Structure 1
Amino acid sequence: MKLANHKTIIYMVYAILTVLILNTKSMAQDSKVYRIAKIQVDSMQLDKYKTALNEQMSTAIAVEPGVLSYYAVSDKKVPSHITIFEIYASNAAYNYHIQTAHFKKYKETVKNMVKSLQLEDVNIILSSKKPGL
């Protein structure tokens, strides 16, 4: 009888530890900030805008550990409609990012190029990619 109880207790401890580990991993993922920026750029200034965006993105990735990735794409039919998918390690990382000199320089540089900006916070619900990407 004691052996059965001992096995039950071990199983319960194992189950509890598994749940705690999975929840910890889940909570770590949840701390990331996923944001989509939808930007309409003055089409006459699109090349200047892309240059400023590239400088800001490259600098942020190089010098800010909390800026994890950027993906900037444009609409094939309307290239001045830009969508950026941004991933930050946390809210603190994002808040730090928007206070940096390179981000403020970008905002000042593009202020007369951007016709509209819409920011959306999103959650990752699924992800699938080739190994190594």
Structure 2
Amino acid sequence: MKAGISLSLSLALSCSAVAQDKNLSLPPVFTLFELVIKQDKNIAFERLADKNMTASVREEPGTLAMYSTSKKAAPSTVYLFEIYADSDAYQKHIASSPYKDFLRNASDVLDLSQKRRIDVIPQFLADKKITQNDDMINNFVIVDVKPECERAFRHIVLPEMAQSIQREEDVLAMYAAIDKAHPTRWYFYEIYASEDAYQAHRLTPHFKEYIEQTADMTTDKQAIAIKPEKIMNKGGLIYKAE
């Protein structure tokens, strides 16, 4: 998996050390957390997360994206998606004052007994600079692939994602990762500018070909309806694991 990794970054913040230095450590770090907010603590959590995320993305060159989303069917269930340029950038983040402040207050708003980190290996990460608005659509999909089809699935889905981010203006982010403990389980997190943009994406030839070609390659597909709460990134990330 690690033998053929390519990474390029073109970040919008010209003052960022990451934007100036293309010789980055590999691979990037992609973290995925599932959290449960205590009863009547949603607003308090949103304020705490907003403070940490805003400071981290703005002030830490290696913190490339932080997304907080809630489950539509159960708003107290939160999914956090975070991307760091490399392991050093991630270590700097968890040593930072904003993150330490978040940890100090987390027990007041979160049921830590239900905190779950899903260890993943990034396969494709690509995004554009995002300005959050009410029209934005977020998708979170978990796909289990037949073991004998994993290689073929990879060679179909990764080019499809690349075409989507390159050809479709309103496809804002396409991220894919595999479960470290279960390598045939894929996690997809996608951001679209609007519902119209998402529906237009579903009508593209490359998406239709992906659906047709992988129809018999999976054993399970779970689409988790989520709502974006706090969305921040630097933009311009392109990463593909070969």
Name the TM tier (shorter chain).
Answer: 0.7 to 0.9
- 1:50 is aligned, of 43, 46, 50, to 46
CA RMSD of aligned residues (A): 2.3
Distance 2:169 2:25 in 1: 19
* 8 A contact 1:33–1:121 mirrored in 2: no
* Number of residue-to-residue matches in the alignment: 111
Distance 2:25 2:120 in 1: 13
Equivalent residue for 1:107? Answer: 103
Of Structure 1 and Structure 2, the greater strand share is in: 2
Look up the SS of the partner of 1:112 in the other structure.
helix
Distance 2:5 2:90 in 1: 22
Q: Radius of gyration: which is bigger?
A: 1
Distance 1:70 1:32 in 2: 14
Gap change, CA 1:104 and 1:26, over 3 Å in 2? closer
Equivalent residue for 1:59? Answer: 55
The one-letter code sitting in structure 2 at the alignment partner of 1:50 is E
TM-score w.r.t. structure 1 length? 0.73
Look up the SS of the partner of 1:111 in the other structure.
helix
Equivalent residue for 1:31? Answer: 27
Equivalent residue for 1:14? Answer: none
Of Structure 1 and Structure 2, the greater helix share is in: 1
Distance 1:24 1:78 in 2: 37
- Structure 1, unaligned runs of 5 or more: 1-22
% identical aligned pairs? 23
**Structure 1 residue 68 and structure 2 residue 49: aligned?**
no
Q: Does 1 or 2 have the higher relative contact order (CA < 8 Å, sep 6+)?
A: 1
Distance 1:62 1:52 in 2: 16
Shift of 1:103: 0.5
Equivalent residue for 1:90? Answer: 86
